[in-house]
Amino acid sequence: MYKILIIAFLFMTSVESSFGQELNCKLTINSQKSSKTDPKVFKTLEQALNDFVNGTKWTNDSYKPAEKIECAILITIESEPKENSFTSTITITSSRPVFNSDFRTPMINYKDRSFEFSYKENDALDFNENVFNSNLTHTIAYYAHVILGYDYETYSPSGGAPFFNKAEVLCQLALNASSDPGWKNNFGERTRTNLIAEIQNTRYKLFRDILYTYHLKGLDMMYDDVVKGRSNIALAINNMNIINTDNANTMILQLFTQAKSNEIASIFEMSDKIEKESVFKSMSKIDATNAQKYQNALQKNK
């Protein structure tokens, strides 16, 4: 009887812990370009990183399995400058459910082109949020906090602040301890430090409001009132245009449009002429790379 109680307790503890973690992340390592390292090493690392990112409790909140944030991390090995040392890119994607629908809206779709790390098979993946131990775990933890920050920001004004604050601390630690160019704060470059600096900059506070308005007041409202929800998304886009007019080519707007361009084109294809023309005119300025996409959407359903 005593043994049964022990087993039951362990099972309940295991179930309870499965409710604690916040991310449902699929982490993959693409090692096709590697010629020096045994592929088994990357498989071991891949499993260890999946355990790390999905097994770490990043917040103080309780999550049920269905509530976990869907995301993915792809590490692509580019070269091996020396034994157990790798240069790579790291691609981060995440999504958020839209209220009362089967649709998931993309939140982040970003390729970080400078990620350097060292790893020897079966190395322990140490991480301390107050100390720089490893560029490998430090970078993964940074992106976990960015993913959480973006997600929480869409549900309440400045809801992502605790996670952006932690990401900022991780950047400061890395700036002093890491040689990885991905942490540098060189002006105009798309680095981890510059991303969080823009998110935290009060000059761009309107962007944080945009995340909330676009998602909670826009997409989530469309189930009950399509016109009102779409109007609020148009307001968010107008506010993006305000930021872009004063501060062209900000990293935060580039990342936003990179994730949302197809979605925005689709949402406003069916809107009235005035709203459609206003939105697509703004988007063509904010996201000039996809100007033709917005022009094509403008011509539909005329």
| Cβ atoms of residues 128 and 138 within 8 Å | no
How does 57-83 read in b/e, with b if 16+ C-beta sit within 10 Å?
Answer: ebbeeebeeeebbbbbbbbbbbebeee
Give pLDDT, residue 21: 87
How does 7-23 read in b/e, with b if 16+ C-beta sit within 10 Å?
Answer: eeeeeeeeeeeeeebbb
Please tell me the distance from the alpha carbon of residue 52 to that of residue 291, in angstroms, as a whole number: 40
Q: Is the pLDDT of residue 129 over 60?
A: yes
Q: What is the pLDDT of residues 187-196, one digit of tens each?
A: 678 999 999 9
Give pLDDT, residue 13: 39
Give, for 110, the enclosing helix (H) or strand (E): strand 104-118
Lookup result for tokens 């629908």: 101
- Mean pLDDT rounded to a whole number for the chain: 91
Give pLDDT, residue 248: 87
Percent of the chain with pLDDT over 70: 92
Give pLDDT, residue 96: 97
Please tell me the distance from the alpha carbon of residue 237 to that of residue 275, in angstroms, as a whole number: 11
Question: What letter does residue 241 receive in the DSSP assignment?
Answer: H
- Region label for 85, one of left (φ > 0), alpha (ψ between -120 and 50) or beta (otherwise): beta
Residues sharing a CB contact under 8 Å with residue 200, sequence separation 6 or more, in sequence order: 164, 165, 168
Give pLDDT, residue 146: 98
Please tell me the distance from the alpha carbon of residue 269 to that of residue 248, in angstroms, as a whole number: 26
The model's confidence at residue 10, banded by pLDDT at 50, 70 and 90, is: very low
Q: What is the pLDDT of residues 200-239, one digit of tens each?
A: 999 999 999 999 999 999 999 999 999 999 999 999 999 9
Give pLDDT, residue 20: 56
pTM of the full structure: 0.91
| Cβ atoms of residues 129 and 169 within 8 Å | yes
- Measure Cα distances from 268 to 109, 119, 238, 290 in Å: 21, 47, 14, 15
Residues sharing a CB contact under 8 Å with residue 168, sequence separation 6 or more, in sequence order: 196, 197, 200
The predicted model gives 58-83 an average pLDDT of 95
Please tell me the distance from the alpha carbon of residue 165 to that of residue 109, in angstroms, as a whole number: 21
Q: What is the pLDDT of residues 17-69, one digit of tens each?
A: 445 589 999 999 999 999 999 999 999 999 999 999 999 999 999 999 989 99
Please tell me the distance from the alpha carbon of residue 92 to that of residue 76, in angstroms, as a whole number: 12
Please tell me the distance from the alpha carbon of residue 150 to that of residue 137, in angstroms, as a whole number: 20
Q: Is the pLDDT of residue 158 over 90?
A: yes
The 3-state secondary structure of 73-125, one letter per residue: EEEEEEEEEECCEEEEEEEEEEEEECCCCCCEEEEEEEEEEEEEEECCCCCCC
Computed on alpha carbons and rounded to an integer, the radius of gyration of the chain in Å comes to 21
Please tell me the distance from the alpha carbon of residue 46 to that of residue 40, in angstroms, as a whole number: 10
At 116 the three-state DSSP class reads strand
Give pLDDT, residue 138: 98
The predicted model gives 273-295 an average pLDDT of 95
